[in-house]
Amino acid sequence: MRLSTLLNHPAPWLTSLGDGDDIALYTRISLARNLPDLPFPGWSLPEHRQAVLNRVLPVLQELPELKNGFYSEISDLPLQERHLLLERQLLSTELAARDAGCAVAVSRNQSLDILINEEDHLRLRLYQSGCDIPALWAEMDRLDTWIENRLQYAYDAQLGHLTSCPSNLGTGLRITVALHLPGISMANLAPQLMNAAEKLNITIRSLYGDGPEAFGNVYQISNKSTLGQSEEEIVTQMAAIVNSIAERERQIRLKLLQRNFTDVIDRVGRSVGTLHFACSLSCREAAEHLSYVRLGAALGLVNWAPAPQRAEAREQLSSIALHILPAHLKKAMIETFGDRAEESDQQTLRAFYIHKNLCPALPYGAKEPDAAPTND
């Protein structure tokens, strides 16, 4: 599978609507694994990393899920292509900065990627739309067992799986769920959510980066510890925490409709109007307005296209949120303008892209409600 083919077909888990009310967008489960007799990548020499590749690749070539998928050593990927994979979340920032002896393998449907010689020798990552953590873990456990039957892992009877970073010791299991929380943001409750993270033993960060400010009101929720708990305990705990946060978002949305209906519909309507008429949009500004359009769609406040086209129109929101990111927009500029791409204004093209792909399905203005909720 060529990279161009992969890039022309975004992963379904990344561009779908997530759950029914557009809160849990997607889930990722990752496992850190290492070989027993070679130094961790951060301390290794090029010959050590090559030894890992020589041992791992024959096994991965037999993995059914990677059949007809994409594989590349990082040194063979130009910088622009690394940025594209980063925005697709099929590469990590750390691996993108590495070079010789490091590689990435991606399944054809992009639901599985394997990072080789990143922080650990292997980082297995499995994705799904929405949030069904037990089901995703069952699939990851099966894949991990398949690989372990063919590769010996570095394992200690007391500590569990040995990893480069002590925070991954034990199970090496990291569960991450992307939650769309515009209600919590509008109610100015994000600081409370951040403060609760320590007590819940989770980490909360923005979709693109570790800063506290959410990008497009999307937060990534992850378990913090992997030592001292079984995989099943981590799965159960994370499912409960994510469900609790999602339920809190639903409650806040309902309260906002009941007590601040005008503010909510004004915020949605302003975002619809901005996306229709803006001639220049920064990436963060566009992401924020798309977030409130998504909120309006989930609450039934947006005048969508005719009924047969509404599902397709809503799915476009996730696809557009991906394609307005800098590397994807630059790719579109190069395809459109060729050698003149560098002369083109990215913010202007971003606004044009939204006009072309979203606005025909999104008539100007918010939906006229039958009756506003009663204020109390």
Which residue positions form the known binding site for ATP?
Answer: 26-30, 123, 174-178, 205-210
DSSP string over 194-240: HHHHHHHTEEEEETTSSSSS-BTTEEEEEE---SSS-HHHHHHHHHH
Give dist(CA 48, CA 114) in Å, integer: 18
Which structure tokens are listed for 332? Answer: 């579109």
Q: Is 72 exposed, middle or buried (0-12, 13-18, 19+ CB in 10 A)?
A: middle
Asked whether the beta carbons of 95 and 104 are under 8 A apart, the reply is yes
Asked whether the beta carbons of 154 and 36 are under 8 A apart, the reply is yes
In DSSP terms, which residues pair with 114 in a beta bridge? 105, 124
Any idea what DSSP says for residue 24? E
Longest dimension (CA), the chain: 70
Separation in Å, CA 123 to CA 15, 120, 139, 224, 294 = 23, 7, 15, 17, 32
Please, what is the angle between helix 261-277 and helix 231-259, to 10°?
100
Give dist(CA 358, CA 276) in Å, integer: 9
- What three-state secondary structure class fits 280? coil
Please, what is the angle between helix 231-259 and helix 133-148, to 10°?
150
Asked whether the beta carbons of 181 and 219 are under 8 A apart, the reply is yes
Task: Provide the residue type at 352 as one letter.
Answer: F
Annotated binding site: 26-30, 123, 174-178, 205-210
